[in-house]
Chains A and B, each alone.
Chain A
Amino acid sequence: MEFSFSEEEIAFRQEVEDFVKQELPPDWDDRVIYWPGGYGTSPQMEDEFQDVSKDFMKKLGQKGWHSLAWPEEYGGQNSNMKQAIAGDVISYYRAPGGGVATAISAPTILLAGSEEMKQEYLPKIASGEAGFWLAYSEPNAGSDLASIKTTAIPDGDDLVVNGQKIWSTGAHVTDYAWMMALTDPGAPRHKGASLIIIDNRTPGITIRPIINICGVHSFNEVFFDDVRVPKKNIVGGINRGFYNVMLALQFERLIAPSGTFRRVLEELVDYANENKRDGVVLAKNPRVRRKLAEAAIEIEVFQSFYWQTAWMLDQGQVPELEASSVKLLASELGVILAHTAADLLGPYGLLDKGSKYAPWAGRVALGYLDSISGPIGAGTSEVQKTIIATRGLGLPRG
């Protein structure tokens, strides 16, 4: 057992840190509203940050820092630990980082894609130039992904896609849909769906914004009317969609804003030390001390699973339980920190971005709202727990 990093890993961390500090705009901290654990305040969604985000993603790509976990033959360094370290540092500075492309599409293409598909998409994902949006959910298919109705019917060399996706986070600022659709609508549940890559520019796609409760345009409704997609865009074999989705799940869960959690806690500790309530420094209030200590322990627990997942992946092990714990704890941590912050800031915690007296660009107020999305998006906490119990521990399904 060992709970420390190698000299190489420490040097790498420093390299990433120096880079991020240098490349982010100097006023980034005063502008970015990102709250960790939620899905609604990412800087990559907002118009205001589009140019900076895209530019930053490209620069990370130039360093090879989107593909650290990939095999060497595809430009990677075979190291999930290094990817986890990079993610830890990038998230500490609330910088733009990994998303669907790097966390879901790339691992799945690596595991299941054809050589042609790998050559077509991996370089673009590695360079940070291609963004993907997750086209899974539909109005009648959220947690129950198998109930999707969007079809992709084979027709010659193409598939013809008809249907509607919702939530579709970032569809308006990315390039490709990563879609689950029914290539065999008559087949039994789980056996008729395929994973398909669709270029956003394909005729027949309509994107309509949905504004989330933080006031951010992150969500969309996306309509597909007779959209023609080449069959070669199917990932990992026709009608094998669910199987391929499961394959990549463990990698996806390493995208967790580990650094941001620590950053928020540091900011809360500073705030408690520097501010008084009714004549008493907040940091001397026993309830404040207890809550912040609890948050610190919760972060430490989460962090242990984060490193453990990365380590297990590098060992060739399957971190079923550990990776699920990362996602579950990250979502709940976002809530814990948001409520701890709200309690600490009192009425100041209500102040929105742009208001006089608003601490930290209104991050706490918007974060309180955004933290609601954490336990819901990318697999609800309830579903996560069921997966842990059944797939993870082996309890019988209902």
Chain B
Amino acid sequence: MLGGAFHAAVLFLVSAGLQLVFGVQKILNLACGSFYALGAYLGVSAVTWALGAGLPAPLFVVVLIAAGLALAVIGPVVERILRTIYDRDESFQLLLTFALVLMFEDVIRFVWGTAPHQLGNVYLVYGQLRIAGSTVPVYNLVVIAAGALIALGMGWLLTRTRFGRIVRATAENREMSEALGVDMHSVYARVFTLGVALGTVGGALVIPATAATSEMGIELIVEAFAVVVIGGLGSMRGAFVGALIVGLLKAGAIAIWPEVEMLAVYVVVVAVLVLRPTGLFARAAA
């Protein structure tokens, strides 16, 4: 179950990024999986280099997060590309993000090759705990805690800061915000970058538990998409709850009936889309 929570925490990060971008810019960014993968690969490289250069092991998590954050610089660039088709039909926007997925896949392949990259056991430097009969790496708990913290942080950002208010207003009513003098380009660029950062940091943080593989991005988008549907498009709370549900469902399925792992998730997705298409926490209507 805790494995489920760990997975959920990472999923939440990526999904939060997706939700943010969708809520404000109404674009479902298929490339968020690519950002996740980029974060993972760079995370591995960065930590490997840092440890080799003498970094004390317990600080590796800082390097991971830094790697994730550093990648956020691609945010404005990608946003600029997407900006060219904001006013077009959503199908085209979806296709453009799909084009980005293809391109990023090969960028990763170019830089890091096709073999999986691993970090080894450096995360065990934090030790392990015995909880409820199973051994859990403390690192996982750290990530879960980080996920929860970031969730709270996002909540605070969106409700208590000026930026957050602008973001929510723009999500509700774009024309009105524009008429009130909000600089759309700047808001979009920042929101998108934040979304990217959430994805890359999420990817970086998951690295100790899994290897960075060439399919991880594409596989993740499929799960992130499930989270977003279950939770409701555009809702941060939905991302949180959805991630929790998907994470636990997967963990439960693996424990009980491995065959149906993703199948179970998809059945739930279809069920939600049919019974309550706007998700559990309906916000942005489509």
**B partners with A:** no
Query: Chain A: residues with CB nearer than 8 A to chain B?
Result: none
